[in-house]
């Protein structure tokens, strides 16, 4: 499963990229606002740090406007992935852009039927928001299972990008279902490595090693 960082914070992206475990980045207008940075400038900087896809979201709501914005965004770098909302205009834009070889992430997916439409529109990625789905009394992971089943039934190549990931259990469940990608805040990604028994084990080994008086 590929790991994308869901952030526009450069320091966090650099830290994760240095581990060699980061496959891409997703941003959205709220994350850009949180970063306090200029959209174009920060997107260019992120694209220079990671080789994989960097999602940059259009803010126009009509097809013509989305195409105009996508034209600007895709000039930033070769690894820009245009993010469009799951609306009719978004799907129309997705079809036009992917037919032209541009990567597209169809975002704000909350139903399996929406995901089916994104695949038919040739999306590179579809982003079902599991956390927000759970928050509203639905089962986010059931949605991922349904999309996996549908995509496998028809050999759709659209990658399932599990978004709105809140904790390690979301990552684990998404991996068990066979989602292609997950995007999570840096803190969640870094938290995956933590285990109390790992920490305890290191502590014990270090203490015993010190008693040997040796060095490597
Ligand atoms: C995905 O691309 C979105 O940016 C993101 O995962 C939304 O997550 P949130 O529900 O935590 O805002």
Q: What is the CATH number of the domain that holds 167?
A: 3.20.20.70
Residues with a catalytic annotation lie at 83
Q: Which residues of the chain have pLDDT under 50?
A: none
The CA 181 to ligand 1 mean position distance, Å, reads 13
State the average pLDDT for the chain: 98
183 Cβ inside 6 Å of ligand 1: yes
The CB of 105 under 6 Å from ligand 1? The reply is no
Question: 178: CA distance to ligand 1 center in Å?
Answer: 20
Give 95 Cα–ligand 1 centroid separation in angstroms: 23
pLDDT over 70 percentage in the chain: 100
Residues in contact with 154: Cβ distance below 8 Å, sequence separation at least 6, in sequence order: 119
pLDDT tens digits along 22-55? 999 999 999 999 999 999 999 999 999 999 999 9
* 31: containing domain: 2-212
pLDDT of residue 177: 98
pLDDT at residue number 68: 98
What is the model's pLDDT at position 51? 96
Pocket test for ligand 1, best of 2, 28, 43, 104 (most atoms within 8 A of CB): 28
| CA nearest neighbour of 46 among 68, 66, 20, 16 | 16
User: For the chain, what percent of residues have pLDDT higher than 90?
Assistant: 100
C-alpha–C-alpha distance, residues 107 and 162, integer Å:
10
The first and second tokens of residue 72, run together, are 């600007």
Rama region for 110: left / alpha / beta (φ>0; ψ in -120 to 50; rest) = alpha
- Cut 0.85: pTM above it: yes
Residue of 58, 118, 163, 165 best suited for mutating to test ligand 1, as the one with most atoms within 8 Å of CB: 163
Provide the pLDDT for residue 113.
98
CB neighbour list of residue 39: distance below 8 Å, 6 or more residues apart: 32, 56
Domains held by the chain: number:
1
């Amino acid at each position: 499963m590929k790991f994308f960082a869901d952030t526009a914070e450069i320091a966090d992206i650099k830290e994760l990229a240095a581990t060699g475990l980061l496959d891409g980045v997703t941003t959205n207008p709220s994350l850009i606002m949180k970063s306090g940075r200029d959209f174009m400038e920060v997107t260019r900087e992120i694209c220079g740090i990671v080789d994989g896809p960097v999602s940059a979201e259009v803010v126009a709501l009509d097809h013509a406007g989305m195409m105009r914005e996508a034209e600007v965004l895709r000039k930033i770098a070769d690894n820009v992935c245009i993010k469009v909302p799951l609306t009719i205009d978004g799907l129309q834009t997705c079809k036009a852009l992917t037919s032209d070889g541009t990567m597209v992430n169809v975002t704000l997916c909350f139903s399996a039927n929406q995901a089916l439409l994104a695949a038919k529109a040739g999306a590179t990625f579809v982003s079902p928001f599991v956390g927000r789905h759970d928050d509203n009394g639905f089962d986010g992971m059931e949605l991922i299972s349904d999309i996996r089943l549908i995509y496998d039934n028809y050999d759709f190549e659209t990658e399932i990008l599990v978004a709105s990931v809140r904790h390690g259990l979301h990552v684990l469940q998404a991996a068990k279902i066979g989602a292609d990608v997950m995007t999570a805040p840096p803190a969640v990604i870094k938290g995956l490595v933590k285990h109390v028994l790992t920490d305890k084990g290191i502590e014990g080994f270090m203490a015993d090693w010190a008693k040997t008086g040796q060095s490597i």
